[in-house]
Amino acid sequence: MQNEISSKMKKLLVTILIVGCFFSTLNQTLLNVALSELMQIFNVTPATIQWLATGFMLVNGVLVPITAYLMKRFSTRKMFISSMAFLLIGSIVAACAPNFGMLLAGRMIQAAGAGIILPLMMTIIVYLYPAEQRGAIMGKMGFAIIFAPAIAPTVGGFILEFVSWRYLFIMMIPISAAIILLAFKYMINIEEGSKLSLDLTSVIYSTIGFGAVLYGFSSAGSRGWGDWLVLATIFVGGVCIYLFSRRMLASKEPLLNLRVFTYKMFTMTSIINIAITILMYADLILLPIYLQDGRGFNPFIAGLILLPAAIINAFLSPVTGKLFDRFGAKPLFIIGTMLIALSMLLVIDLSTTMSVTYIVIRTIILRIGLAFITMPLNTAALNALPQELASHGSAVNNTVRQLAGAIGTAVIVTIYTMQLSNISLTANEGYATAAGNTYIWMLGLAVIAIGITLFVPTKIVQNKTS
């Protein structure tokens, strides 16, 4: 397949994929800065409004584990167009929403598309390019995966500052429609799809398991860790994931092939991925809280403060992809985790008088570290697998990221809330100190990630068959 498609066609396909993934990923976090305003507009409580974020993550997380089956059942062209169609339909529904229920429905529809696009994109890259070229291509993909959520606060803040919240969705309508038209004209099938039987029992275990765990951890921040519903859903979810895993390991044609964890490099990168994802998502929540509550900046100004780091990150991702192809995974992993740890160390003593320039430089260091490790992690993981396990490896990779993002965010928010309640300072100083104390925990996690990278194999053994 790699030799049958021309270089020009490969570049065109990759461009369409990057654009589609960028706006799908941007859409996932774009609404975060608008939650407070939407809570007032629709007259709902914080526990209710958080479903715009939690619901998106739930649908995304439930759908990701079955994408390996979907990618084998349907052609890549149909899958990509379907994912963008969900984004289009969901945006229309949300933009026109007269009440909170319809707005939430629109977000859920959008999430269905987002759950498909990322694992699909990574699988297509594995089929299009040999292992020695994937680093550079994955680096370009990092533009979508890392840059999009990084600029979301700036874009969202700008829209809220100058126009209606509805434009958060309206702007997605022409963009997703244009991507669909491009896909109809230029997207070709990497795989045609085949008729496969669907293991409904596995789907049920997967849906309940991942859905319940994601719901439980996502709700813990607002309901509390002692809440019976939080504990019950995490327990039920854990049991279903265990049953799902047993069934997958015993099946000859598993819905999600967990045997990818028998490959050492894949397992090691998955563990590091959990730590890095927690740190990335936690910072995307914690730093804006500090800037808005601790320093009094509005969402737009807070977003502008974070923008320089996002821009540097966007330009650096393709560079680190090329470095991966030249020097391998381990050096990049070590550099990336050390820079991330340094960025956490620099904000453990946050205050209301800390220089904005200092915050900008610190965030640039974090984003450079993420550029060095995020896409190289995914590339190293998929390179270690035989090609026939690529779709499963990609689906597992993204399932791990979804779980880490939800669980990590819930834990960090809980730690922050506990820190805030234990501090008797003025409002602004309290927010800043609580955020700084929470970064101490994040620094500990970053140090653990550095330790794990030291055990990563220097060379990736390319496995031809499973």
DSSP string, 304-353: HHHHHHHHHHHHHHHHHHHHHHHH-HHHHHHHHHHHHHHHHHTTTT--TT
Same domain, yes or no: 398 and 283 = yes
Give the separation between CA 140 and CA 126, rounded to whole angstroms.
Answer: 14
How large is the average pLDDT for residues 319-340?
87
Give the separation between CA 106 and CA 127, rounded to whole angstroms.
Answer: 33
User: CB of 6 within 8 A of CB of 132?
Assistant: no
Q: Is residue 150 part of a domain?
A: yes
Same domain, yes or no: 249 and 105 = no
> Which of 233, 254, 275 is at the close of a domain?
254
Q: At 424, is the pLDDT very low, low, confident or very high (cuts 50, 70, 90)? A: low
**Structural domain that includes position 234:** 199-254
Same domain, yes or no: 97 and 159 = yes
How large is the average pLDDT for residues 41-60?
76
277-317 confidence digits (pLDDT tens): 889 888 877 888 788 778 888 778 887 888 888 888 878 87
Give the separation between CA 412 and CA 161, rounded to whole angstroms.
Answer: 28
How large is the average pLDDT for residues 191-207?
76
95-113 confidence digits (pLDDT tens): 999 999 999 999 989 888 8
Q: Which of 78, 59, 14, 32 is nearest to 303 (CA)?
A: 32
How large is the average pLDDT for residues 21-50?
78
What does the block give as tokens for 22? 């960028």
Q: Is residue 1 part of a domain?
A: no
Q: At 192, is the pLDDT very low, low, confident or very high (cuts 50, 70, 90)? A: low
461 pLDDT above the threshold of 60:
no
Helix axes 100-128, 356-383, angle to 10 degrees: 50
Give the Cβ contact number of residue 6 at 10 Å.
9
Q: Is residue 458 part of a domain?
A: no
Please report where in the chains the tokens 């990221």 appear, as a residue: 401
User: CB of 385 within 8 A of CB of 260?
Assistant: yes
Same domain, yes or no: 232 and 93 = no
The amino acid present at 399, given as its one-letter code, is T
Rg (C-alpha) for the chain, rounded Å, is: 21
Higher pLDDT, 41 or 60: 41
Give the separation between CA 206 and CA 251, rounded to whole angstroms.
Answer: 14
Higher pLDDT, 118 or 207: 207
How large is the average pLDDT for residues 263-286?
87
φ and ψ of 312, to 5 deg:
-60, -40
User: CB of 14 within 8 A of CB of 140?
Assistant: yes
Give the separation between CA 210 and CA 65, rounded to whole angstroms.
Answer: 9
Same domain, yes or no: 363 and 418 = yes
Same domain, yes or no: 334 and 271 = yes
Cβ-count burial of 185 within 10 angstroms (0-12 exposed, 13-18 middle, 19+ buried)? exposed
User: CB of 279 within 8 A of CB of 373?
Assistant: no
Query: Model-level pTM?
Result: 0.79
Total tally of structural domains belonging to the chain: 2
Q: What is the pLDDT of residue 337?
A: 94
> Which of 254, 272, 300 is at the close of a domain?
254
Same domain, yes or no: 323 and 212 = no
Mean residue pLDDT across the chain: 82
Q: Is residue 466 part of a domain?
A: no
